[in-house]
């Protein structure tokens, strides 16, 4: 599933459209449109110019230039979605659902499973309404607000980190990586975290996201926990202890029993 580092990569792909005019919009599969029909979606965007793409958590936001009520496209990528920049001569992929055509190429929303999709908002107010339930972006939040939001819930720390209403952007892989780096058990209650724990967690989150965003994904290097997720006998890259695979909040969870004490 795309997480914050992947989605930041999609935002960078979408930078191809900044200050470019939409020549046409091809809706290949209207099932990915949320709350708007194909014709209304096309009519709202054709001949518009896109402004600089933005990201909040796992969402990419594409504003169009113009008045305050100019349309925005809000893209969520579910488990299998992506943005792809293609030349006009590149054949459509079978999972290309919506194609925005420009003089310089095409921005394609590609998604195999179609679990989420594209929303159309009329102006900043509608954008704010669509994103109202999201917490602050994980890459932008400060240490004090991070600690306050995380400890206002009485759940396990992994479940809290993955709750998009608490913090926007972290998914299963990022949460496992972060907790391993901070040496915190995934089931530990947020109310049991000390000030040092919370400071360390925030510090490790910033460092992890910085490196992952630079790579365009959560790296699967040998020094990262993520690099051992698919091994038949995974070992901790820090202490070589056999890693545990359990389920936390219904999600497959990888952790080290030596480094991450309950």
CA distance 65 to 262: 51
Q: Would residue 113 show up in a list of annotated catalytic residues for this protein?
A: no
7 alpha carbon, distance to own chain's centre = 5
d(CA 57, CA 17): 21
Point out the catalytic residue in the list 126, 206, 251, 257. 251
The residues near 124 (Cβ < 8 Å, ≥ 6 apart) are 68, 72
58 in catalytic set: yes
Are 199 and 164 a contacting pair, CB within 8 Å?
no
Known catalytic residue: 251? yes
Whether the CB-CB separation of 116 and 76 falls below 8 Å is answered with yes
Token pair 């480094």 in the structure block, residue? 259
Q: Which of 11, 48, 58, 108 is catalytic?
A: 58
Is residue 54 within 8 A of residue 63, CB to CB? The reply is yes
CA of 249: how far to CAs of 61, 104, 160, 175, 226, in Å? 29, 45, 10, 12, 19
Is 210 part of the annotated catalytic residue set?
no
What residues are labeled active site?
2-3, 58, 251
């Amino acid at each position: 599933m795309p997480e914050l580092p992947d989605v930041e990569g999609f935002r960078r792909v979408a930078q191809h459209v900044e200050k470019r005019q939409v020549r046409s919009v091809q809706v290949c599969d209207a099932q990915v449109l949320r709350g708007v029909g194909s014709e209304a979606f096309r009519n709202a965007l054709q001949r518009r110019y896109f402004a600089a793409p933005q990201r909040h958590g796992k969402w990419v936001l594409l504003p169009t230039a113009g008045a305050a009520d100019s349309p925005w496209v809000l893209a969520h990528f579910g488990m299998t979605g992506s943005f792809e920049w293609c030349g006009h001569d590149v054949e459509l992929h079978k999972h290309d659902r919506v194609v925005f055509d420009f003089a310089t190429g095409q921005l394609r929303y590609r998604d195999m499973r179609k679990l989420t999709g594209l929303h159309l908002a009329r102006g900043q107010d509608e954008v704010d309404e669509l994103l109202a339930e999201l917490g602050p972006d994980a890459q932008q939040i400060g240490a004090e607000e991070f600690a306050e939001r995380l400890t206002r819930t009485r759940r396990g720390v992994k479940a809290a980190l993955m709750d998009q209403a608490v913090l926007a952007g972290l998914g299963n892989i990022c949460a496992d990586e972060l907790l391993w780096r901070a040496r915190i058990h995934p089931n530990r209650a947020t109310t049991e975290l000390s000030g040092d724990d919370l400071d360390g967690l925030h510090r490790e989150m910033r460092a992890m996201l910085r490196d992952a965003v630079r790579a365009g994904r959560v790296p699967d290097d040998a020094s990262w926990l993520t690099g051992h997720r698919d091994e038949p006998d995974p070992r901790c890259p820090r202490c070589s202890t056999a890693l545990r695979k359990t389920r936390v909040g219904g999600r497959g969870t990888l952790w080290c029993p030596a480094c991450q004490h309950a």
